[in-house]
């Protein structure tokens, strides 16, 4: 077992534990903290994959901005412990079935395409951030500009939605 594989296993275990904890926790603020654990370990996995820029963006945007927004809203609305009725407990069984079906489907697909994926997996070591900026501002410049409109519309929409009605 190489050092990289060991690091991967530790980070993967952290991510899965965080995701399970998100489901098991009753209070939304605990779920939010579990989700932060998942995001930080995913940032570590991106580093392991040689995607430094994506790892930095993951921590700044996901771990920072989005999760602060979530925690802020949880505190603003004073969210309490969630309550489960008998019907919502029943939803767990078909949900579990669906998830197992999905996992089986994905595992079968991966198992069939093993050679194809592994054949080219030795071509890392790209100048990652330089390459990303080249693609982002040359090949993907129109989608990139469109995202600024998306952000603008989202800001306007959130402001309009969250303001109090004038009475």
Partner 1 sequence: MVPTNYYVILSAILFGLGMFAFIFKRNIITIFMSIELMLNAVNLAFVAFSQALGKLDGQVFVLFVIVVAAAEAAVGLGIIILIARSRQTLNVERVNLLKL
58 contacts partner 1 (rule: CB under 8 A): yes
> Contact with partner 1 (CB under 8 A): which of 86, 112, 122, 145?
122
* Of residues 10-49, those binding partner 1 (CB under 8 A): 12, 15-16, 19-20, 22-23, 28, 31-32, 35, 38-39, 42, 45-46, 48-49
Pick from 86, 140, 141, 145 the residue near partner 1 by CB under 8 A.
140
In angstroms, what is the minimal distance from the CB of 79 to partner 1? 5
- What burial letters (b/e) apply to 72-110, b meaning 16+ CB within 10 Å? eebeeeeeeeeeeeeeeeeeeeeeeeeeeeeeeeeeeee
Other Cβ atoms closer than 10 A to 47:
16
Residue 144 near residue 137, CB atoms below 8 Å: yes
When binding is defined by CB under 8 A, the residue of 10, 59, 69, 141 that contacts partner 1 is 69
Answer yes or no whether residue 106 interacts with partner 1 by CB under 8 A.
yes
Candidate list 112, 121, 145, 167; residue touching partner 1; CB under 8 A: 121
| CA pair distance 24, 22, nearest whole angstrom | 6
Token duo for residue 134: 């080249």
> What's the closest the beta carbon of residue 21 comes to partner 1, in angstroms?
10
């Amino acid at each position: 077992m190489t050092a990289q594989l060991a690091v991967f296993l530790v980070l993967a275990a952290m991510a899965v534990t965080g995701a399970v904890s998100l489901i098991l926790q009753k209070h939304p603020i605990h779920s939010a903290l579990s989700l932060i654990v998942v995001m930080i370990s995913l940032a570590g996995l991106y580093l392991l994959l040689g995607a430094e820029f994506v790892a930095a963006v993951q921590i700044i945007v996901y771990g920072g901005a989005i999760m602060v927004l979530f925690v802020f809203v949880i505190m603003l609305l004073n969210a309490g412990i969630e309550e489960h009725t008998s019907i919502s407990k029943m939803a767990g069984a078909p949900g579990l079935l669906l998830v197992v079906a999905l996992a089986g489907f994905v595992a079968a697909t991966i198992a069939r395409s093993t050679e194809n994926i592994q054949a080219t997996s030795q071509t890392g070591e790209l100048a990652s951030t330089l390459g990303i900026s080249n693609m982002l501002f040359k090949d993907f410049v129109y989608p990139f500009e469109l995202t600024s409109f998306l952000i603008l519309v989202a800001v306007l929409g959130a402001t309009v939605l969250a303001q109090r009605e004038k009475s």
